[in-house]
A and B are shown apart, each in its own frame.
Chain A
Amino acid sequence: MADLPLAGIRVLDFTWAWAGPFCTMQLAHLGAEVIRVETTARPACVTRLIPPFADDVPGPNRAGYFNQYNQGKKAITLNLTKPEAIEIALALAKHADVVTDNYAAGVMDKLGLGYDKLRTVKPDIIMISMSGYGQTGPYKGFVGYGPPASAACGMFYATGYEGGDPGEIGVSYPDPNAGIFGAFAIMAALTHRALTGEGQYIDQSQLETALVLMPEGLLQYDLAKHEPERHGNHDPVMAPHDCYKAAGDDEKWVSIAVGTEAEWSSLCHAIGQPQLADDPRFKTQALRKQNEAALDQIITTWTSARDRWESTRILQAAGVAAFPSMGNKDLAEDPHLTERGYLVQLEHPEVGKRVHAGIPWKMSGTPTSVRKPAPIRGADTEEVLKSLLGFTLDRIEQLRKSEVLI
C-alpha cells in the first residue's frame, strides 16, 4: 500500500481544548505521527472533563469529546512546570517537523518553547500558534474561546430568525474552523519546506480564521454600506429556501432550497401542484422571493403531511434539493454515511467499541483511514522517550517520581 501523504512527518502537539486537537487530527489522518503532550499535574484538557462519558461513567479516557477529536494520535505526559520537562520537550522538538500550540499569545515563549528557541534545536522546524486574537495587536492578550469568537466575528450578529435578535449558532464553530485552517497552514508550510528547505512560524488568530468566512456580510457593509439583515433560513436570492415542519413529533423538519427555474418547475410537479409553475405570484425567482410567505405556507402544508424522508425522496427524485434536518441519532445511523465509511467503529481500550465521525474525504492514491482510537492519557510516554530519546526504563521511572513525566 502507498505511503500516506504525511508519512514520516512528526508533530509535537501542545494543543488543548478543541481547535488545536481538531487541527492535528487532520494531520494524523493524513499519516503524520502526532505526539500529544499532556499532564496530570493540572486539570486535564477540558474535552476530557465534560460529558458525554461512555455509559455516563466519568473518566478522562471515557469522554466522547476527547475521543472524537484525538483519533490516530499518541499521548505522552510531560509536566511543563518542571525545567527538566522543558529540556525533554526541546529534545523531542529536535526530532519533530511541526510543533503546534493553541495557548494564549506568548505562553510558549514564557515556557522556553517559543519559535526562536525551537529553531535553535531544529532550524527548519515549522511552528503554528493558534491563539484567540493572534500574537500581535492590542487584543493579543485577550482570552478567546469558540463561542465568544462567534460573537466577535459577526456571526451572531448576522444569524437569527426573521426580525429577531442576534442568535447563537449552536456549536462552537470557530474552534474546528481554526483547526482546519491551521491544518491548511501547516500543509502550506510543509509544501514550502519541501520546495525550498525553509521552515517557518505561523501566527494564527481564531478571530481572523472566522472572519474569512464572513465575506457576504462584511462586503455588504463595505460595498452597500448597510449591515446584513437576519432572515432565518431564507436566502437573499433563492426562494423557497427554508427548513419546513414535517409530520411526526414536534422535532421533525425538512430543508428545501430551490435555486433554478427548472428546480421550481420540478418542485411544483413533485408536490402535485403543477398549476403553481404558472402562478403569476411565483413566475420568477424575484417574484417567489417577494411572495415568499405565501410560498412557505403552501410548502409547509405539503411537508407537514408527510414524513421528512418521504418528502426528501419525492423531491430529490425530481431533482430538488431537500434533506431532513439531522439530529445526532439520525447521523449515527445514517446508511449513506455508513456506506461511505465515514462512520467508524473504533475499539478503545476503556470504552470499547463506539461509533465516531471519521474522515470527510477520500483519496484514491493514498487512501486514508482512522488508524487508531484516541489515546489513553500518557499511553505512549515510554515508547516515545525510549525510541526517540533513548531513555531507559529506570530513567523514566525516576522522572515519574520527580513529577516530570506526569
Chain B
Amino acid sequence: MENNAKTPFSAIKVVECGEGIPAAFGAKMLADLGAEVIKVESPEGDLARRRGPFPGDAVDPERSGIFIYLNTNKRGVVADLKRPEGRELLGKLIADADVLIHNVPPPERAAQGLDSAALCAAHPKLIVTSISIFGDTGPYANWRGYDLTVANAGGWAYLSPGASPFADQPPLKCFGSQGDFQGGVTAAMLTLAAYMNRLKTGKGQAIDVSEQECIAAMLEMNLMHWTYAHRETSRLGSRLLGPWFIADCADGKIFALAVEEEQWKRLVELMGNPEWASEDLFKDRIARGQNQDALKALMGEWLSQWKVQDLYREAQKRRIPFAPVNTMRDLYESEHLSERDFFVPIEQPGVGTVRLPGMPSKYARSQWALRRPAPRLGEHTEEVFCGEFGVTRDRLVELRKAGIA
C-alpha cells in the first residue's frame, strides 16, 4: 500500500520526539499532507505502544491502535537521547530538518539536547515546536502532568458533566486524551504559521504551546461568568435552555435538544401537540431549561416509543437538532460517514486491516492520504542513519549493542 507520491508539503522535513499523543498528533497532521516525518523513539519505544487498544485486548507494542493511528505516514528510528551518542544521532536529523516538534517536559529538555533557545541559536532556520502541560515558563512550568491533569488544570473537568445531579461525584474528565490532542493540533497550526513566516524571512523560531491554556480557551463563556458578572460556575446547576438532555428510546439513547423557539414549536408538533407543552413551566427556552426534570419526565414516554434512527431523521427533517448517542459500532456503520469515506482502511503489518479515523477537513487540492503504515520500533533506523546520514553499519551495530539505537 505504500504510496510515496510527493505533495507540496513533501518539502517540509520534520523530526518528532517525545512520548504519547501531543507531538505525535501534531506531526501526524503535517505527515498526512505529505510532510516527511522522522519519529525518534527511545529504545523502550513510545509510551503509546503500551496503551492500546490492542487486537483481542492482548498487549503488544507492535499492535497498539493508538500508536498506529498517530504514526502512519512516518518513518521511525531509535535513539536514546539520554546518552550522548543518541543525542549525536538526533543532531544529524535536526541539522537537516525544517521542523522539530516534541513534547519532552521542560525540566528534561536540556539533558536531551532539546533546549529551545540553544537549538534556535545553533540552527537559525529551524522551527522548534514544543508542547507541554503548563508551558515553558511560569511557576508551574516544571510541574508534571497527564491528560487528567490538563482536564482539571484547564477548568474543563470542573464543568463536566453539565447540569449534573451527582453532587457527591467528582468533576469528570471527558473520554480520551483531549488536552493532548488540542496541544497537538495547535502545535501543527503554529508550525505551519512559522513555516510561512520562514518562507518570507528565512528565519526559524521557537514555539511554546501550553495544553492547560489550550483547554482553558475552550470553556464557552464560563471564564467570563466570573470576569463579567462575578458568578462561579460548575458541573452542578441547571441548563441554560431546554430541552437539553440524553433520553432513552426503544433501542438506544438520543440527545434531545431545541435551541431556537421555532425548533421547539416544530418539536411540539412532532410530539402531537400535547396539552402540557403549553404550560407556563415550558413557556420559553429559559423556562424549559430551569424545569428540565419535569420536561424530561413528560417527554420520556413519547421518546421511549421511537427507534433512535427514526426519531433522528424525523426530527432533522423538521430541522430540530437531535442526535443519537452513537456507539463506536454505530459510527463504523454510519451510511453518512461511509458515503464521505471517513474511515480509512490501512494494512498494518502484523495486525491486518485497521479502519482509522480519517481526514478532519476535506481539501479540494491538498492531498491528504495515509501513504504508509506505522513503523515498527526502529524499523527505519538503518535506512535513515546509514542510508541518509553517513553512519556506518559497523557503528550502528555498536550503538545497538550499547542499547542506544
Contacts and interface: CB of A to CB of B under 8 A. Distances in A.
A65 to B, nearest CB: 4
A1 interface: no
A241 B148 contact: yes
B155 interface: yes
Contacts of A342: 210, 213, 216
A339 B386 CA distance: 46
Interface string B314-340: 001001111111111111100111011
A332 B146 contact: no
A55 B197 CA distance: 41
B135 interface: yes
Interface size class of A (residues with CB under 8 A): 35 or more
B233 interface: yes
B157 interface: yes
A282 interface: no
B366 A192 contact: yes
A106 B351 CA distance: 41
B5 interface: no
Nearest to A366: B197
Given A148-B257, A184-B192, A200-B364, 13 more contacts: A151-B255, A168-B162, A168-B163, A168-B246, A169-B175, A191-B9, A212-B360, A223-B65, A224-B56, A253-B171, A319-B144, A321-B145, A327-B155
B23 to A, nearest CB: 14
A112 interface: no
Contacts of B240: 50-51
A257 B149 contact: yes
Given A154-B327, A167-B161, A235-B148, A331 B220 contact: no
A82 interface: no
Given A171-B156, A255-B148, A236 B52 contact: yes
A326 B228 contact: no
B201 interface: yes
A189 B335 CA distance: 29
Contact of B66 (A137, A216, A339): A216
A74 to B, nearest CB: 20
B176 A208 contact: no
A340 B53 CA distance: 37
A215 B65 contact: yes
A195 B8 contact: yes
Given A166-B325, A171-B160, A364-B120, A328 B360 contact: no
A214 B376 CA distance: 23
B175 A155 contact: yes
Given A139-B316, A215-B65, A361 B210 contact: yes
Contact of A137 (B218, B322, B336): B336
A187 B192 contact: yes
12 contacts: A143-B320, A147-B257, A151-B325, A169-B172, A170-B174, A171-B222, A188-B192, A222-B332, A228-B175, A316-B143, A325-B158, A340-B137
B199 interface: yes
Given A217-B328, A323-B152, A52 B53 contact: no
A138 interface: yes
A54 B221 contact: no
A209 B361 contact: yes
B144 A320 contact: yes
Contacts of A177: 182, 218
A83 interface: no
B307 interface: no
B282 interface: no
A394 interface: no
Contacts of A161: 166, 169, 172
Interface string A231-250: 01101111001111100001
Nearest to A43: B260
B249 interface: no
Nearest to B203: A365
A354 B228 contact: yes
A99 interface: no
A208 B342 contact: yes
A105 to B, nearest CB: 12
Given A182-B361, A324-B152, A50 B221 contact: yes
A168 B156 CA distance: 12
Nearest to A62: B228
Interface residues of B, number: 150
Interface string A353-392: 0111101111111100000000000000000000000000
Contacts of A65: 220-221, 224
Interface centre among A6, A144, A213, A243 (most CB of B within 10 A): A213
Given A50-B221, A361-B186, A325 B66 contact: no
B235 interface: yes
A355 B193 contact: no
Contacts of A20: none
B257 A145 contact: yes
B311 interface: no
B234 A327 contact: yes
A279 interface: no
A347 interface: no
A79 interface: no
Interface in B18-38: 29, 33
Given A148-B322, A168-B162, A217 B208 contact: no
A109 to B, nearest CB: 15
Contacts of A360: 186, 209-210, 213-214, 216-217
B354 interface: yes
B213 A328 contact: no
A357 B228 contact: no
Contact of A158 (B116, B161, B175, B340): B175
B153 interface: yes
B189 interface: yes
A180 B236 CA distance: 28
A184 B146 CA distance: 24
A228 B209 CA distance: 30
A323 B170 CA distance: 14
A230 B155 CA distance: 21
B375 interface: no
A157 B52 CA distance: 19
B227 interface: yes
B143 to A, nearest CB: 5
B246 to A, nearest CB: 6
A210 to B, nearest CB: 9
Contact of A253 (B170, B212, B364): B170
Contacts of B185: 180-181, 184
A227 interface: yes
A159 interface: yes
A245 B177 CA distance: 23
Contacts of B325: 151, 156-157, 166
